[in-house]
Amino acid sequence: MGDVLGTFPEQTPCLEHNNSIYPDEGIECQTCHMPHAEGSVSISNVGTGFPAREPFSQHYFVGSNKVMLKLLKDNVDALGITASSSQFDDTITRLDDLLENQTASMVIRNAGKEGNVLSLDVGIQQMVGHKFPTGFPSRRVWLHVTVTSPTGGIIFESGKPAPDGSITGCDADTDPGRYEPHYDIIYRQDQVQIYEAIMQDPDGNVTYTLLRASEFVKDNRLLPLGFDIQNAAKGIAVKGAAVNDADFTSGYDQISYQINTGAYFGPFNVRVELLMQTISYRFIQDLYNDQNVLADKFIELYDDAAKMPVLVTSAETIIP
């Protein structure tokens, strides 16, 4: 047994929600996660004479964890699951709708070229009732930016997802002791804007083990609208370089890209995608080190699952 050095709030959507505009607007967890059924519904099949009631909330609880739904769906026999394929598909359809239409939107502003340098600002509007990505710190959301030239193909790519679940250029994915910082401006392909929470232990080392965590060393997850950064309690505070980024604000982040086009000619096609992954590459690598039956079983199932991220939103522009 080790010494207890403190406490660490691991998942805080409720505290984040309380520090946003949503409670004041009467928007509760249920508003987004348990949408109302149409019309009125009888609340019991037992007995008679109960009036049908409305509004009636559907017990959906959809979030963004597509990988896990697919993993369960593909292993119903092995896991003894009683839900049918079509029930899983219905839930996955609702999840896609939540992610595509109610999570985030993106705009590209000030796109232009001076000399050999392309510049553009990417603005991300967050629509979630708490931080995004939510909850368990294995989740990450990032910007995948590609610039294509008619003469050179892809001449710049930041945040490329690899089939093994890693992100090209992400420091954490090559070195377990490091992590990708928050950026306000990106110049190089090995710089990636990743919205995530990274834990550290009391000695200041990055950790992926909840029981060793004492605080977040980086937490630049996209904030809900109305989030009061200055007065946020310790457990939900913004951490790392995002603290000093003036355009990382409540419900919004803006990031600039300054890209050297070298000898290539335009017009340049710029595509920006906001991608989301439930379990980061380093979290899975960390599980490989855990010598226990449940972790081994999970890894076995996860190895066959698609590790590629899901697309949340995207934007495109052409720079002459």
The binding site for ligand HEC (CB under 6 A) comprises 13-14, 17, 22, 27, 29, 31-33, 63-65, 98, 102-103, 128-130, 132-135
Q: In angstroms, what is the minimal distance from the CB of 20 to ligand HEC?
A: 8
In sequence order, what are the residues at sequence separation of 6 or more whose Cβ sits closer than 8 angstroms to the Cβ of residue 306?
A: 67, 70
Q: In angstroms, what is the minimal distance from the CB of 266 to ligand HEC?
A: 36
Strand partners, 319: 268
Our CB check for ligand HEC shows the closer of 61 and 265 to be 61
User: DSSP code of 39?
Assistant: S
Our CB check for ligand HEC shows the closer of 165 and 251 to be 251
Q: In angstroms, what is the minimal distance from the CB of 65 to ligand HEC?
A: 3
DSSP E strands: which ranges in 67-214?
104-114, 117-126, 140-149, 153-158, 185-186, 194-195, 197-200, 206-207
Q: In angstroms, what is the minimal distance from the CB of 22 to ligand HEC?
A: 5
The alpha helices in the chain, defined as continuous H runs, are: 13-18, 29-33, 66-74, 76-79, 85-101, 171-174, 281-289, 293-303
Beta 248-249 vs 215-219: how paired, if at all?
unpaired
Our CB check for ligand HEC shows the closer of 134 and 158 to be 134
Our CB check for ligand HEC shows the closer of 33 and 113 to be 33
Q: In angstroms, what is the minimal distance from the CB of 125 to ligand HEC?
A: 13
Our CB check for ligand HEC shows the closer of 216 and 257 to be 216
